[in-house]
Amino acid sequence: MENIDWGSLPFGYLKTDFNVRSVYKNGKWSKLEVSSSEYIDIHIAATGLHYGQEAFEGLKAYMGKDGKIRLFRWEENAKRMLGSAEGVKMAQVSAEMFREALLKVIQLNKKFVPPYGSGATLYIRPLLYGSGAEVGVKPASEYTFIVFVTPVGPYFKDGVKPVNMMICRDFDRAAPLGTGIYKVGGNYAASMRAIMAAHTAGYSNTIFLDAKEKKYIDECGPANFFGIKNNTYVTPKSESILNSITNMSLIEIAQSLGMKTERRQVSVEELGTFEETGACGTAAVISPIAKIVDPEKNKIYEYCKDGKPGAETMKLYKKLTAIQCGDEPDTFGWITIVE
């Protein structure tokens, strides 16, 4: 696409040519349909609109130096969407249907896959929602599954430039036995007040603490948290965070690079002991954290004092992104080539 400036794309929506859709009615999914419309016709009483009966996913397609388009661990996104569907009692999208939709929507929008080395990628957004009408609070009997794509630049401005984060004690994103482990819209609605408070105060995003005790780190806005110290990659274990596929992958990469890894509760005080910290996710990739501010406790935790990302963080970043775009062999078996 000669008129897209790939290098300066924001993480935002850009119209592409096609999306794919399927409707679940009378107990079965329709054949996948291709649409060129960016709009949906939706019932005014759809449960997705009123009661947040919806879930979504986020993954990326990467253009390699060899001109091949790569998908990263789509099976994990398919699995997570099955979990989210069960979490808010929706019809299930099988891994096979998920795969078919991904491959089709990418093939149809090939020209929107950003070139190798541009820093941009094709973001893929599967969406599932209750499209059947109900007024009482109960699961719909009809569902719609849509997958659209859009080329995106980095989620946090300036790519791997370290960002500042603010700890939020005023608002919770998810309760311990709530829906925090699912990728459902309600969690993101619940996170808006904290994100806006962080933005208004001049921070990139917010760090949520566990809702029950406010003692432990949960996650960083739409990304998981990790800290590194003594050659160990540490990341929170919590019942209210999304199980990040990027984080799962970084744990394996860290081990392959000879680091130890720990998935356990991480107390707020422990922030003072890390050599490096970061946020990780599909959109965020790895965003190194320069500073974490805890306004209520009058505390500031600082990393990368020279303004540069830490060496261990960069090692992980380089390995992950090299696998994703095919610069390094896929020794973990994470890549699917889109033919």
Which of 56, 52, 43 lies closest to 142, judged by CA? 43
Nearer to ligand COI, 63 or 283 (CB): 283
Which does residue 219 touch among ligand PLP, ligand COI, none (CB within 5 to 8 A, set by kind)?
A: ligand PLP
Nearest-5° angle of CA 251, CA 254, CA 260? 90
Tokens 């990040």, located at residue: 244
Name which of residues 36 to 65 contact ligand COI (CB under 6 A).
Answer: 58
152 interacts with ligand PLP by CB under 6 A: no
Judged by CB under 6 A, the residue of 52, 132, 222, 227 near ligand PLP is 222
Distance CA 148, CA 155 (A): 18
Nearer to ligand PLP, 142 or 282 (CB): 282
Distance CA 143, CA 29 (A): 9
Least separation in angstroms between residue 213's CB and ligand COI is: 26
> Quick one: tokens of 141?
């009997």
Sequence-ordered list of residues with C-beta below 8 angstroms from that of 328, at least 6 positions apart, any chain:
319, 322
Catalytic site residue 31? no
Q: Are 228 and 205 in contact (CB under 8 A)?
A: no
Choose, from 89, 111, 138, 183, the residue flagged as catalytic: 183
Name which of residues 236 to 265 contact ligand PLP (CB under 6 A).
Answer: 242, 244-247
> Quick one: tokens of 300?
């500031």
Contacts with ligand COI, 184-223, as mask; x by CB under 6 A: --------------------------------------x-
Phi-psi region of 278 (alpha: psi -120 to 50; beta: other; left: phi over 0): beta
281 interacts with ligand COI by CB under 6 A: yes
Catalytic positions, written as ranges:
183
Where on the chain is the footprint of ligand COI (CB under 6 A)? 58, 222, 281-283
Where on the chain is the footprint of ligand PLP (CB under 6 A)? 58, 219, 222-224, 242, 244-247, 281-282
